[in-house]
């Protein structure tokens, strides 16, 4: 990935957003300016080799299927949804669509600018400013490996991807996530992703990923050594909520 985008696109039907967006770009240190597009102009503005940062106003009405197609066709670009209100349903849809970021308009300019930079560097950023506070325990007592799983969930990784990064099995990942739900009180993956920074507040998810890739054991059997039941029903969390 190049150090900064070749092009920056803002997709919205509200031109006044461009004023706030310009402030974000200035704070991020990007002096490229941005191209303002309507939703119907987006698809024809991106090529497969273009390295663009595309920020899409959630109120522009772009379907999630369009996001999926754009992420597949423009692999060198990064896509961020800019939304007035974050909901668990919105987070879940964004994660499933494969977008690289979901940012609340309520974030401070400096926080939003930092999140855009981190998205461009290859991280996934799901950031909000207090309007959605999942009821999870900050004193969760997660093991280091469970913290790594949380960090990967925050990046939008599916169980198969987490298993590959941790050099373990999908079954082990499901057990980990089941235990994490039990310890934190999170009800689903989107709630866990939103609460991740509170559960592991000093964790850089990208650093976690790099560390795990570099030094994971060939097979992780820690979960096999715990006492008590590992049945998904033991915590009252449905299997479907963690099956990916």
**Predicted confidence band at 215 (pLDDT cuts at 50, 70, 90)?**
very low
> What is the average pLDDT across 204-210?
48
- Same structural domain, 106 and 151: no
pLDDT tens column, 105-117: 888 889 899 999 9
The alpha-helical segments, DSSP class H, found in 61-219 are 64-73, 88-97, 109-120, 144-154, 159-166, 170-184, 189-199, 205-215
pLDDT value for 116: 93
- Same structural domain, 194 and 228: yes
CATH number at residue 73: 3.40.50.2300
Give the global pTM.
0.59
Residue 86 lies in a domain: yes
**Predicted confidence band at 138 (pLDDT cuts at 50, 70, 90)?**
low
Domain that holds residue 75: 7-127
**Cα–Cα distance between 208 and 149 in angstroms, integer?**
9
Lookup: tokens for 48: 């497969």
pLDDT value for 196: 75
Give me the residue label for tokens 């963690």. Answer: 242
Question: Is residue 194 a contact partner of residue 126, using CB atoms and an 8 Å limit?
Answer: yes
- Same structural domain, 172 and 229: yes
Residue 135 lies in a domain: no
CATH number at residue 190: 1.10.10.10
Question: Is residue 13 a contact partner of residue 39, using CB atoms and an 8 Å limit?
Answer: yes
Q: Which residues contact 92 (CB under 8 A, 6 or more apart)?
A: 188, 189, 190
Number of structural domains found in the chain = 2
**Cα–Cα distance between 35 and 5 in angstroms, integer?**
12
């Amino acid at each position: 990935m190049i150090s900064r985008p070749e092009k920056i696109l803002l997709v919205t039907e509200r031109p006044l957003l461009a004023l706030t967006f310009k402030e974000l770009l200035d704070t991020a240190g990007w002096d490229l300016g941005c191209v303002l597009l309507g939703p119907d102009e987006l698809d024809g503005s991106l090529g497969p080799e273009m390295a663009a940062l595309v920020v899409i106003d959630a109120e522009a009405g772009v379907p999630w299927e369009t996001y999926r197609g754009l992420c597949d066709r423009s692999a060198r670009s990064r896509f961020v949804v800019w939304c007035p209100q974050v909901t668990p349903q919105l987070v879940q849809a964004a994660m499933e669509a494969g977008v690289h970021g979901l940012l609340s308009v309520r974030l401070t300019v400096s926080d939003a600018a930092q999140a855009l930079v981190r998205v461009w560097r290859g991280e996934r950023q799901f950031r909000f400013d207090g309007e959605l506070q999942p009821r999870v325990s900050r004193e969760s007592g997660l093991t280091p490996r469970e913290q790594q799983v949380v960090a990967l969930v925050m990046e939008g990784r599916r169980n198969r991807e987490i298993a590959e990064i941790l050099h373990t099995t999908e079954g082990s990942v499901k057990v980990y996530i089941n235990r994490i739900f039990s310890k934190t009180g999170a009800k689903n993956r989107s709630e866990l992703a939103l609460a991740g920074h509170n559960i592991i507040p000093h964790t850089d998810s990208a650093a976690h990923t790099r560390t795990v890739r570099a030094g994971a054991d060939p097979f992780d059997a820690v979960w096999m050594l715990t006492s008590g039941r590992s049945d998904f029903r033991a915590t009252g969390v449905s299997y479907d909520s963690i099956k990916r």
